[in-house]
Amino acid sequence: MTVTAGDIARMTAVRRAAVSNWRRRHDDFPEPVGGTASSPLFDLTEVQEWLRRKGKQFELGKADRAWQRLRAQSEDLDLGKLVGAAGVVLLRGMGMKQQRMLWPFPLDDQPMVRLVKAMAADMGRSEAFEFLVARYVEAHARRLPVTRPDVAELMVRLAGPVTTLFDPACGLGTLLCAAPPEVTAFGQDIDITTTPIAAMRLLLRGTEAQIEIADSLREDGFRGRLADAVVCEPPTNDRAWGHEELIEDPRWTYGVPPRGESELAWVQHCLAHVRPGGRVVILLPQAVAARRSGKRIRGALLRAGAVTAVVTLPGGPDLWVLRRPVDGDPVPAAVTLIVASELDTVAEQLDDPAYGVPVLDLLDDDIDLSPARHRQPDDGRIAAEYAAAVARMTRPNPDPPGIAVLDERRPLATTTIGDLVRSGAVQVRPGLPPVDGDIPMVTAEDFMAGKSPSGRTGGDPLMLEEGDVVAAPTGIARVIGAADAGVALGQYLTRYRVDPLRIDAEFLAGCLRHSEPVNHASSRIDVRRTRIPRLPITGQRAYGQVLAELTRFAESAAEAAEAARRAARLGFEGLLDGRLQPSGDTDAHRRPV
């Protein structure tokens, strides 16, 4: 069996950068036996022998063994079939039949079936399948178009609270899976491998879903069906999208898309499948906002009031937010155009009238909706934000804690979270999804951003007490203080409640921060495998204090670095736009030559 650098990192509970360092620093590190220069494959047995020689601890758990067996049984191009077959095994455990999934590739390897079932017993069915899908995506990152998770979350958030959600180019189901499980999902895609996997992901997480395999434009599997909202990242630059045979299609309310405007065909297809007043959030290349061949359709969309916003995402494509017009409603007078520097601010900026551009100004000869072309007057915002960034950048940061450097390494004895749970020193509970109620709940988004609880829940929630440790899938972990106690913990977060006479909370939080990020919430088995030093409580407290100081030092340094990047970006933008100028000589610098 072969493993990637990422597999080795997970086996040894280090980051991938550490594996790269091992390859550079150790001449005896195993040579690749396959793969590519950017994604080499190593022989698992050779890697395990090397790790033993170097005294490095490693563990190949049930999930990793199942993945390695799947990889060993198929060529790379057929790997998706076996991942889907594993999904069928998991669905059968829920009483669902294979025929429902249109999946003709049974998993005949009984040891493999047993491994998959063992994964499900330890991790849960949905978590086990998500593990396999994540490894599949990692192995085929160049071939599988997958929407970035942070962009997917933003798109679903902008779609608004809905009960039904549709993605006509669903692929592996990334966008649909970003929605809450209680949302009913509809999806379609032409890919015979990824589309059933999307259905399995949704069904395994308890989402009611209907997924069709077909070309969405040519063979609309949901003709006449309207969803509360549509999210989509369609294929781009496709000149063979069906222009000739679809020229009379009733979906082209805003004009027949030219052959070279496949993206505008997708825009109209999405609008045809959302209820009046419902939103379409679609990711498109920046050129779609400005190409001359599409200006007639862009004009029709503007005149009908169908375009709400166009947002240029940081370093990437444009995010179009559209709304299917309601008969009798007035046409909005402005369209929001944003060049976003951060994803976190987009939702707030959409509601800010300062980013609005009058529709009449956009209906010129070009009908160019590119946000960069229509930036609004600064009204002092650039100057104020620049001054704030500079002030934060120059604010003194805390000194690093006192840490002694040893002449030689003295490895610490370790234990695992699982051992601590079994001994009663730690209780581990995952956060819960919200239900109707008025109890304040901290969401994963709140926790990672350091914000006050924004959620509400009811029933019998998982409550936080002072001294609890909370960890997020991103690797963030912190101890709950008195001011943050008394609220419920939302899904995708994990609570660690310690026996303070045996485990120091700051020490545990520091160990969780240093562990692999996926360990905190993606699977219970990985959480329990997390290794931490085995120290007496007095030693834990000493280490915990230093780890907490290191965290504050690192967070302050990162905050200052981000302020420096923000100051530089705002400085460039303001100087070149005439909103800022070099200090000193005021007018001489601005005279044209």
Distance CA 584, CA 405 (A): 48
Same domain for 263 and 304, yes or no, is yes
Instruction: Answer whether residue 246 is part of any domain.
Output: yes
Same domain for 210 and 318, yes or no, is yes
Residues 256-281 have a mean pLDDT of 97
State the residue range of the domain holding 351.
Answer: 149-376
CA distances from 50 to 81, 201, 558 (A): 32, 36, 36
Same domain for 326 and 424, yes or no, is no
Same domain for 18 and 53, yes or no, is yes
Instruction: Answer whether residue 546 is part of any domain.
Output: no
- pLDDT recorded at residue 375: 63
Q: CB within 8 A of 420, min separation 6: which ones?
A: 426, 503, 532
**CATH code for position 429:** 3.90.220.20
Q: Residue 517 — very low, low, confident or very high, per pLDDT cuts 50/70/90?
A: very low
Residue after which a domain boundary falls, among 108, 139, 170:
139
Is the pLDDT at 392 greater than 90? The verdict is: no
Same domain for 346 and 242, yes or no, is yes
Residues 185-208 have a mean pLDDT of 93
* Of 104-108, 238-242, 405-409, minimum mean pLDDT range: 104-108
Number of domains in the chain: 3
Instruction: Answer whether residue 6 is part of any domain.
Output: yes
- pLDDT recorded at residue 36: 75
- pLDDT recorded at residue 222: 96
Residues 469-482 have a mean pLDDT of 89
Same domain for 131 and 155, yes or no, is no
Sequence-ordered alpha helix ranges (H) in 305-403: 346-350, 359-362, 381-394
- pLDDT recorded at residue 20: 85
Instruction: Answer whether residue 403 is part of any domain.
Output: no
Same domain for 368 and 511, yes or no, is no
Residue after which a domain boundary falls, among 511, 534, 557:
534
Claim: this prediction has a pTM higher than 0.85: no
Same domain for 326 and 431, yes or no, is no
Same domain for 41 and 169, yes or no, is no
- pLDDT recorded at residue 361: 92
* Of 52-61, 337-346, 495-504, minimum mean pLDDT range: 52-61
Give the residue among 569, 555, 554 at the shortest CA–CA distance from 390. 569
pLDDT (tens digit, 9 = 90+) per residue, 53-97? 888 877 667 777 788 777 777 776 678 888 888 888 888 867 655
Give the residue among 398, 363, 357, 394 at the shortest CA–CA distance from 375. 357
Residues 192-218 have a mean pLDDT of 93
Same domain for 125 and 217, yes or no, is no
Instruction: Answer whether residue 229 is part of any domain.
Output: yes
Instruction: Answer whether residue 97 is part of any domain.
Output: yes
- pLDDT recorded at residue 320: 98
Q: 271: helix, coil or strand?
A: helix
Does 496 or 79 have the greater pLDDT score? 496
Is the pLDDT at 99 greater than 50? The verdict is: no
Q: What percent of the chain shows pLDDT beyond 90?
A: 47
- pLDDT recorded at residue 13: 74
**CATH code for position 319:** 3.40.50.150
Check: CB of residue 177 under 8 Å from CB of residue 153.
no
- pLDDT recorded at residue 312: 93
Kind of pairing between the strands at 318-323 and 307-312: antiparallel
Is the pLDDT at 400 greater than 60? The verdict is: yes
Instruction: Answer whether residue 249 is part of any domain.
Output: yes
* Of 481-485, 493-497, 507-511, 563-567, minimum mean pLDDT range: 563-567
pLDDT (tens digit, 9 = 90+) per residue, 534-583? 999 999 999 999 999 998 888 888 888 888 888 887 788 778 767 788 88
Same domain for 54 and 93, yes or no, is yes
Residues 422-443 have a mean pLDDT of 89
Q: CB within 8 A of 86, min separation 6: which ones?
A: 66, 70, 107, 112, 116, 129, 132
Residues 422-438 have a mean pLDDT of 89
On average, the pLDDT of the chain sits at 86
- pLDDT recorded at residue 523: 37
Residue after which a domain boundary falls, among 139, 162, 187:
139
Q: Residue 518 — very low, low, confident or very high, per pLDDT cuts 50/70/90?
A: very low
Same domain for 294 and 265, yes or no, is yes
Q: What percent of the chain shows pLDDT beyond 70?
A: 91
Instruction: Answer whether residue 33 is part of any domain.
Output: yes
Distance CA 447, CA 470 (A): 9
- pLDDT recorded at residue 551: 87
Distance CA 14, CA 202 (A): 31
